């Protein structure tokens, strides 16, 4: 296993976001398994965490975008396509974020972080839009 400092900055951001999501999932499991007496207290604590999660993640996104802009890490590799398509190379679920990243000529990690932030703000709307784009956009 590589040391954390040996990963690229983009990979470090992905690792930190992944660890944070796993921690939130573990908290959700603990809350689900908590006793009846501590149940409401734990629910209140999770609600407070989620109320603070959106503003904190928004600030983190802004800091990341400023840092990436100064390091010129936002520029995507390869030519910009003439039409908007789902990516067949840079994809995780359906290629929508990779296709949007190539269309806007930015790094795909930035698009994925923005989609994750939108998912925290409104999960149902984000999933709906993602599914619509998956159905509408052709595969590259």
If asked whether residues 23 and 63 sit together in one domain, one would say yes
Mean pLDDT of 62-71: 76
Range of the domain at 57: 10-76
The last residue of a domain, from among 76, 91, 120? 76
Q: How much is the mean pLDDT over the chain?
A: 76
pLDDT category of residue 73 using cuts at 50, 70 and 90:
low
Q: Which residue has the higher pLDDT, 20 or 34?
A: 20
69: in domain: yes
Does position 135 have pLDDT exceeding 80, yes or no?
yes
Confidence of residue 36 (pLDDT cuts 50, 70, 90): very low
Please work out, in degrees rounded to the nearest 5, the angle formed at the alpha carbon of residue 12 by the alpha carbons of 8 and 15. Answer: 140
How many domains does the chain divide into?
2
- The reported pLDDT for the residue numbered 31 is 60
Q: For residue 137, give the nearest of 89, 97, 80, 78 by alpha carbon.
A: 97
In this structure, are 70 and 108 located in the same domain? Answer: no
Q: Is residue 125 part of a domain?
A: yes
Is the pLDDT at 32 greater than 60, yes or no? no
**Integer angstrom CA distances of residue 37 from 50, 63, 75, 100:** 21, 40, 52, 47
């Amino acid at each position: 296993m590589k040391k954390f400092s040996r990963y690229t900055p983009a990979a470090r951001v992905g690792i930190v976001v992944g660890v944070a999501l796993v921690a939130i999932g573990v908290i959700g499991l603990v809350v689900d398994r908590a006793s009846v007496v501590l149940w409401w207290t734990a629910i209140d604590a999770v609600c407070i965490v989620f109320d603070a999660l959106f503003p904190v993640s928004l600030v983190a996104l802004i800091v990341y975008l400023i840092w990436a802009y100064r390091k010129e890490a936002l520029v995507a590799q390869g030519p910009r396509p003439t039409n908007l398509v789902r990516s067949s190379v840079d994809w995780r679920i359906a290629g929508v974020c990779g296709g949007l990243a190539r269309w806007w000529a930015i790094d795909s990690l930035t698009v994925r972080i923005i989609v994750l932030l939108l998912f925290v703000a409104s999960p149902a709307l984000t999933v709906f839009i993602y599914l619509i784009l998956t159905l509408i956009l052709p595969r590259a």
